[in-house]
Each structure stands twice: as structure tokens, then as C-alpha cells.
Amino acid sequence: MWGARKWIRCARIRCQHRAAGFHVQPMYKYQSLEAWKRAHAAAVLVMRVTDEPHHPRTRSVFEQLRRAAVSVEANIVEGYALTTPALYRRHLRIGMGSAAEAECLARIAGELGYLSGDLVKQIETHLGGAMRALHGLLRRPKVIDT
């Protein structure tokens, strides 16, 4: 009985979503978003460079940098999965904030000598691209593409 109710509810929501002008999409489609691609590249790079052995004083900056970089990608995916325009846009805005935070932390790590200038530039390039793509998604009409 529970399964049937849940299926009917999901079918009703899909119909409402289509009537509202957007479609329920498979989860793997988020990987086609340019914002996700750039955020993913930034997160992987940050995880790699902060995984290497460093002086203990770098720990707090690196931990926050890692959390912020992963949060960008995670919020894009979570917003995409929720399939309502309001929640999608909300998570994109949170991802934008996390990208700005990660960029700031990377710059601080570079200025303190925790990361090389080249690594900071690479991180900033990926995060800047993600922010531009997120900005573009936020400027779009309130429709989630399939």
C-alpha cells in the first residue's frame, strides 16, 4: 500500500512539474552542467593539493578550503536533484557563496605560503569558471533543463 501511494504522489508531482513548465530529470544529467564540471575540477584539485603533508599550522585553512570547495559541487548537485525552481536557485546561490569562500581561502593560503602561486591560480581559475557558470544559471528563467 505504501509503495502505491508513493508512486501516485510521485506521478502527481511529475504532472505538476510538467504543467509548471519544467521537467523531472534523471540525476546523472547534472554532470552536463558547466558549473558542475568546473566545481568538480576545483574540488578534486583542492583535495589533492591539501592531502599532501604540510605543516600543522596549515590545517585549519586547508580544512575550511576543502569543505568550501566540496560544498560548491555538492550544492549544485543537491539543487539539481530537488527539481523545484525555488530550491534549485537557492542551492545555486549557496554554491556561489561557497565558491567565493573557497577562492578567498585559496588566496589566503597562497599569501601565507601554504600553497604555491601556480596552485592558487589553478584553483582560482576553476572556481572563477564555476562562479561565472553559476551566475549564468541564476540569470536564466526559473526552469530546470533536462
pLDDT tens-digit map of 82-138? 878 899 999 999 999 999 999 999 999 999 999 999 999 999 999 999 999 999 999
Residue ranges of domains in the chain: 25-139
Residue with cell 541564476: 138
Q: Let me know: does 109 contact 62? Beta carbons within 8 Å.
A: yes
How far is 93 from 35, CA to CA, in rounded Å?
A: 12
**According to the model, what pLDDT value does residue 32 have?**
85
Confidence tier at 8 by pLDDT (50, 70, 90)? very low
How far is 135 from 28, CA to CA, in rounded Å?
A: 22
Domain 25-139 bears CATH identifier 1.20.1090.10: no
pLDDT tens-digit map of 54-81? 889 999 999 999 999 999 999 999 998 8
Residue 113 is given by DSSP the state T
- Measured N-to-C along each axis, helices 117-139 and 34-51 cross at an angle, to the nearest 10 degrees, of 150
Q: Let me know: does 47 contact 66? Beta carbons within 8 Å.
A: yes
